[in-house]
Structure 1
Amino acid sequence: MATEATEELYRVRDTYFPTDPADKASKIQTLADAALAQLDSIPLEQRKSPQQRAMLEFLKGKILDVKLNPSLVDAWLCLGNCIWKKGDLISAKSCFTHALSKGSNKKVLCQLSMLERSMSQGKEDQATLVDESIKHAKEAANKYLENYERALHRFEAAASQDPSLGGDEEVRKIINVLDKLDNSVKVRNKRLASTALNLSEVRLEPAYKKATVNSLSEGINSGAAVLAKVLLFIKHDNIAPLYYLLCDSNMCCFILSVFGLQFEAVREGDNVTLLGPYYRAVDVSWKGKHYQFKLIRVDFAEQILVNGNRPSLRHVARASIISQNKS
């Protein structure tokens, strides 16, 4: 029954064209909800074998693909995962690749990396596939900071397949970054109090309310503005992002990662205002080491004021992060 319901859903999608497009959307929504309900009602005894579970996940992915709109990244990611469970790795890779054509996405990049490593098992073109896996893991790690631990696992696995591809070197670079960031945050000296006291003089835009790092929630904090002093520029091996050690008005040290700006845009001693900051509490364990620090990420020049001013256009990086990493 669930298979027939799914086929009917696709038939409506491909052949039903009413005068009012809203009618089609409503009908698809109704059919999709009914098909999902049928899947959920299948008894447990019919879900025991891996083949049965894979087929159910496959059907659910197909239903969600229509319900969510094929242009959405999450829909293609869901469908790719379901097809992967069914064992069709080539079709799953096609779904992930199509999802990336809609825009870079950390979840898709990581799934594609794992899939390509899986595909490399026992293949003659193993080196090529593992090399692709490294590229996707590197892209995810460099652009999305919260993927440190997953990227480390991906690089280590790739290195075990073929050491000549440089996976061990990428692991070394990530560990080097984590060591520097973690150690920088632990720095304590008597100058912190005097540097932080000047932050109260910074005037905020009306749309924002002053916040401290400890008051932020994980993710984007719309309407919040964190005022902080730049204590240190942290050098590392990669082109992007730029890393800085900052201290807020409560003398809480944290890491600022900056994309899309050149080095000259932010300097040690500057007062910065971080608008609608993306916050993350980084907590990574790797081979007996534990890295833990607070991090705010700036993706666009519009998210930061330096000494009360927007960054100059000459300080905005022209090349994209992805193209830099691939060069």
Structure 2
Amino acid sequence: MGNMAEAEKDGDPANDKDDLDILKEQVDELYRFRDNYFETHGVEDAGRKQRDVAQEMEKTLKKLEEKEELYKHNAEFLLLRGRCLGVAPEFSSTAEECLSRAVKLKPGLVEGWNTLGEQYWKKGDLVTAKTCFTGALQQSKNKVSLRSLSMVLRQLPGGVSDEQGKRVLESVDMARQAVQLDVTDGTSWYILGNAYISLFFTCGQNPQMSQQALSAYAQAEKVDRTATSNPDLHFNRATLFQYEEMFGSALAGYSRAAALDPTWDGPPERERQLLEYLEKLTALTENKGKVKARRLRSMLSSLSTTALGPCSCPQFRSPSGRVGSLEPRTLSALTHGHNGGVAALGKVVFSLASEGRMAFTFGMVDSEETCCVVMVYNTPRVKRHSVEHNQQTFNFRSIRVDTPLLLIVNGRRQNVQAQTAASVSYKPQSE
């Protein structure tokens, strides 16, 4: 009789709900442990995080296994097991199997579709992942599906540039909708920031998109304190800082990302590349490309306004649409910021090839023997750099050229083939 009574008790729907609620809280606690790791651990423990999370996952799995015989055909239980295995960064075939069974048993299980989509994403099957997130949205509009679709759309391979541009715009829209559903969700703000970065690099480097990305990252950190411990956020923002020539902030971001995820090679490698670039750049600028004084005077003796070529013509039309000849100015006469209607005239004394995704860089000396760095990207802007990082200091002045089409080389304008579009790449499997 005792055994029969216990069997009836185990089959009671109320008891099932209690069991599943307890198990759900344990799985939720596992995710809280992972996502809030640095609230209870110092950055010096970052190297232990994956191991500690794996240990907590094993503990939770054991608790689930104790109930597996009772609930192995229950969709909610299968979802919990799939979620538990999904806390790990790598793909799990067991998680995929559990989640596939869960959504077959209960097709309206939105969280099941979302978690299954994440597994396909980790597996590298972006098309099937997209199908899962779209299926979840068909059941219910939710922030997780929207922001996951935002990421997947940006990572889908290939396509013509117009098609890629449309996907990025759709990605931004999905991320915006996710934020609108919950403005207190830091993850949604972070993904919106990533979407704006993609839009910035894919659709013409509009400065407004750069600022939108930085604002979204700042909002993520404001509404969610765990966002400050997201290495991807620091890395992506540092990439944007580097492109915007905010080198000090870029170095700090790479350094922070490396500290938060010591297993990730990307941040320290980017930091090393940028430091090496700055070291070479300042050294070459200070000694004017190592050109000997007599050779330099000989080079500058042939410098004249005729080298401006078409820029000296009253009918000259710049890529921005301005018509009129440009006024030649010495480097010392250029003002900080945008310099419209003027031309800097000089001789190239060095060029610098960088390992990282830096602009094409060269050094130019003018008639006053002033040396300045010129950075050519995809109206000249002048900037004074003073960078301090890990007790190293770099000081130099630069001219930023937003397109090679603004350059006159040996009296000739550059053709459109000199310009290459900037691109953006993503860390595999997740953002």
TM-score class, shorter: 0.5 to 0.7
After TM superposition, list the pairs within 5 Å mapping 1:291-306 onto structure 2. Answer: 291-306=394-409
Matched, 1:173 2:266: no
Aligned to 1:311: 414
User: Is 1:96–1:108's contact at 8 Å kept on the other side of the alignment?
Assistant: yes
Question: How far, CA to CA, are the matches of 1:180 and 1:284 in structure 2?
Answer: 14
- As a proportion of its length, which structure holds more strand? 1
User: Is 2:189–2:220's contact at 8 Å kept on the other side of the alignment?
Assistant: no
Amino acid at match of 1:227: L
Amino acid at match of 1:228: G
CA positional deviation for 1:181: 0.7
User: Is 2:337–2:382's contact at 8 Å kept on the other side of the alignment?
Assistant: yes
Aligned to 1:48: none
User: Is 1:232–1:244's contact at 8 Å kept on the other side of the alignment?
Assistant: yes
Amino acid at match of 1:169: E
1:227–1:160 Cα change, 3 Å: same
User: Is 1:234–1:244's contact at 8 Å kept on the other side of the alignment?
Assistant: yes
Within the candidate set 300, 304, 311, 1:196 is matched to 300
Question: How far, CA to CA, are the matches of 1:163 and 1:306 in structure 2?
Answer: 45
**Secondary structure class of the residue paired with 2:248:** helix
Question: How far, CA to CA, are the matches of 1:135 and 1:155 in structure 2?
Answer: 9
Question: How far, CA to CA, are the matches of 1:279 and 1:211 in structure 2?
Answer: 13
CA positional deviation for 1:205: 3.4
**Secondary structure class of the residue paired with 1:165:** coil
User: Is 2:274–2:356's contact at 8 Å kept on the other side of the alignment?
Assistant: no
User: Is 1:137–1:154's contact at 8 Å kept on the other side of the alignment?
Assistant: yes
Aligned to 1:184: 284
Aligned to 1:259: 377
Aligned to 2:354: 236
After TM superposition, list the pairs within 5 Å mapping 1:4-153 onto structure 2. Answer: 89=186, 92-93=189-190, 96=193, 103=200, 104=205, 105-113=209-217, 122=226, 129-141=230-242, 143-145=243-245, 147-153=246-252
Matched, 1:321 2:429: no
**Secondary structure class of the residue paired with 1:164:** coil
**Secondary structure class of the residue paired with 2:355:** coil
User: Is 1:109–1:137's contact at 8 Å kept on the other side of the alignment?
Assistant: no
Question: How far, CA to CA, are the matches of 1:248 and 1:324 in structure 2?
Answer: 38
Q: Which has the larger radius of gyration?
A: 2
Aligned to 2:34: none
Give CA deviations for 1:239-278 in whole Å, capped at 9, x if unaligned: 4411111111221111111123xxxxxxxxxxxxxxx321
**Secondary structure class of the residue paired with 2:346:** strand
- As a proportion of its length, which structure holds more helix? 2
CA positional deviation for 1:89: 3.3
Matched, 1:287 2:428: no
Matched length: 221
Amino acid at match of 1:144: E
User: Is 2:186–2:219's contact at 8 Å kept on the other side of the alignment?
Assistant: yes
User: Is 2:197–2:210's contact at 8 Å kept on the other side of the alignment?
Assistant: no
Unaligned runs of 5+ in 2: 1-179, 315-323
User: Is 2:237–2:253's contact at 8 Å kept on the other side of the alignment?
Assistant: no
1:239–1:170 Cα change, 3 Å: closer
Question: How far, CA to CA, are the matches of 2:425 and 2:347 in structure 1?
Answer: 29
User: Is 1:246–1:255's contact at 8 Å kept on the other side of the alignment?
Assistant: yes
Aligned to 2:86: none
Aligned to 1:11: none
Unaligned runs of 5+ in 1: 1-82, 261-275
CA positional deviation for 1:133: 3.3
1:165–1:131 Cα change, 3 Å: farther
User: Is 1:301–1:316's contact at 8 Å kept on the other side of the alignment?
Assistant: yes
1:229–1:187 Cα change, 3 Å: same
User: Is 2:273–2:355's contact at 8 Å kept on the other side of the alignment?
Assistant: yes
User: Is 2:234–2:256's contact at 8 Å kept on the other side of the alignment?
Assistant: no
Instruction: Give TM-score, length-normalised by structure 1.
Output: 0.58
Question: How far, CA to CA, are the matches of 2:368 and 2:376 in structure 1?
Answer: 22
Question: How far, CA to CA, are the matches of 2:225 and 2:254 in structure 1?
Answer: 16
Amino acid at match of 2:235: I
Question: How far, CA to CA, are the matches of 1:323 and 1:122 in structure 2?
Answer: 25
Aligned to 1:154: 253
